[in-house]
């Protein structure tokens, strides 16, 4: 099953409300997806379902990681 496809998620969880509960978000958020699951939510669902739902990579998906003061200090030690 594809974690990026909302219809696959509904088949797996049963309802959009159950998807929201699994993600600990409001059901209204899931209803706003309009068939397309946000990429980071798809990755979260893949992890929550232990790979039974698979997040497909999408071209143009970039994640920004905010550097913290501790980043890179492990190499210096």
Instruction: Give CA–CA dist 65/40, Å, rounded.
Output: 13
Residue 57 CB partners (closer than 8 Å, separation 6+): none
Instruction: Give CA–CA dist 54/47, Å, rounded.
Output: 9
* pLDDT tens by residue, the chain, 77 residues: 787 888 889 999 999 999 999 999 999 999 998 878 888 898 899 899 998 888 876 555 444 445 556 545 555 54
pTM above 0.75, yes or no: no
Widest Cα–Cα separation across the chain: 50
Give which of 8, 2, 11, 9 is closest to 25, Cα–Cα: 9
Residue 10 is predicted with a pLDDT of 92
- Residue found by looking up tokens 């980043």 in the block: 71
């Amino acid at each position: 099953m594809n974690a990026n496809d909302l219809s696959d998620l509904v088949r797996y969880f049963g309802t959009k409300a159950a998807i929201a509960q699994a993600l600990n978000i409001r059901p209204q958020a899931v209803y706003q997806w309009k068939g397309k699951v946000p990429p980071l939510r798809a990755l979260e669902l893949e992890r929550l379902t232990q790979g039974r739902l698979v997040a497909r990579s999408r071209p143009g998906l970039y994640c920004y990681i905010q550097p913290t003061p501790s980043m890179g200090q492990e190499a210096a030690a």
